[in-house]
Amino acid sequence: MNQESDKKFECIKGIMAFVDFLGLSNFLKVNTPMSNADNEKIDRLNAQIHFFESSLGHHGRFAEQTEKYQLKYDGGVWGAISYSDNASIFISGEGSENPNLTLTNLFEILLAQLAYSQYESASDWKYDGFENFLIRGGITYGYGYIGKNIVTGPAHLHAYNIEQSDPYPRIVIDKKIFDNIDITRLEKNFIIRDFYGTFFVDYLKAFNPDLLYCLEHVRDFILENLKSTKGSILQKYQWTARYFNYHCHRSNLNDLLIPEFEDYDKCFTKDFNVV
């Protein structure tokens, strides 16, 4: 079932994700009225938001992958909606023969699609007609509602609060999710944690080694913003530089390391013993 279903609007348990493009609000605040160059930037941003919908919206890649899973295994409930510069997605194992396993498998699909969306957004900077934005979000477990063109509920508010409270451009994963899925069946391909114990989507794992230039685009984007930003915005790109260096080191791409952020190995780990 998806959000287009005519089934009764009801509250069920599941996993809720809220994700947001960073920077749009600040851009609009400081660029009013807009110059022609700013209008061109908005045009590129519109193209990126269209990409967001095609990736995470109710007719996008996430929907396509989820529906393929449902056809094969028969079960699960989901809803997805994108609006302006953010999107909300809810998944549940309700109605399936094994709700816990179904939720686990739908969570894998969700993590992969979030990772690919984050990576593509970062690597398309000033290329292919897009305006690049980093993405931040929160994923949690709780009660959600799915109706026609709506995804909401207490879990939605919690996921939004997680996104709002985290200072870094990442999609944070609430630890209580791991208590409500089959953790032994979770592949963890797109999960990483920092040394403070915060789990988040490991989106740089979505990179394709055969398309190294895309990763180079990410590096260029980080370097440009390390030079042009300050204060709390600069801190976001400093964090991203460390995460980028961590990924390059584990992928044996040391030629791409960003100078002055060599402490990456002290910041992140793929150790899941705490789960």
Residue 239 pLDDT > 70: yes
214 and 114 both lie in a single domain = no
H/E element holding 1? none
The C-alpha atoms of residue 262 and residue 92 are separated, in whole angstroms, by 41
Say yes or no to pLDDT of 99 above 80: yes
For residue 259, whether the previous peptide bond is cis, meaning omega lies within 30 degrees of 0, is no
Range scoring the smallest mean pLDDT among 23-32, 113-122, 211-220, 235-244: 23-32
pLDDT at 92 over 60: yes
Same domain, 102 and 162: yes
pLDDT tens, residue by residue, 223-232: 999 999 999 9
Together in a domain, 127 and 216: no
What does the pLDDT read at residue 79?
Answer: 84
Here the tokens at position 204 are 């740089």
Residues 41 and 148 both lie in one domain: yes
Ramachandran region, residue 268 (left: φ > 0; alpha: ψ -120 to 50; beta: rest):
beta
Verify that 104 and 217 share a domain, yes or no.
no
Q: How far is CA 68 from the centre of its chain?
A: 21
CA-to-CA distance for 69 and 56, rounded, in angstroms? 16
Domain boundary (177, 202, 227) is at 202
Domain that residue 261 falls in = 207-267
Same structural domain, 128 and 228: no
Is 198 found in the same domain as 147?
yes
274 or 113, which is more confident: 113
Over 50: is that where the pLDDT of 85 sits? yes
Q: Do both 186 and 215 map to the same domain?
A: no
Q: pLDDT at position 6, please?
A: 47
pLDDT of residue 193: 92
Whole-number pLDDT of residue 95: 85
**Model confidence pTM above 0.85:** yes
Q: Does 83 reside within a domain?
A: yes
**Residue 5 is assigned to a structural domain of this protein:** no
d(CA 241, CA 66): 33
- Give yes or no: residues 156 and 132 share one domain: yes
Q: What's the confidence (pLDDT) of residue 76?
A: 82
Q: Say how many domains are in the chain.
A: 2
Chain mean pLDDT for the chain: 83
Note the pLDDT tens digit of each residue in 173-191. Answer: 999 999 999 988 888 889 9
When pLDDT is averaged across residues 242-267 and rounded to a whole number, the result is 88
Confidence class of residue 169 from pLDDT cuts 50, 70 and 90? very high
Residues 65 and 139 in one domain: yes
Residue 4: pLDDT over 60: no
- Please check whether residue 138 is in contact with residue 162, taking contact to mean a CB–CB distance below 8 angstroms: yes
In a domain, 145, yes or no: yes
pLDDT reading at 65 higher than 90: no
CATH number for the domain spanning 134: value is: 3.30.70.1230
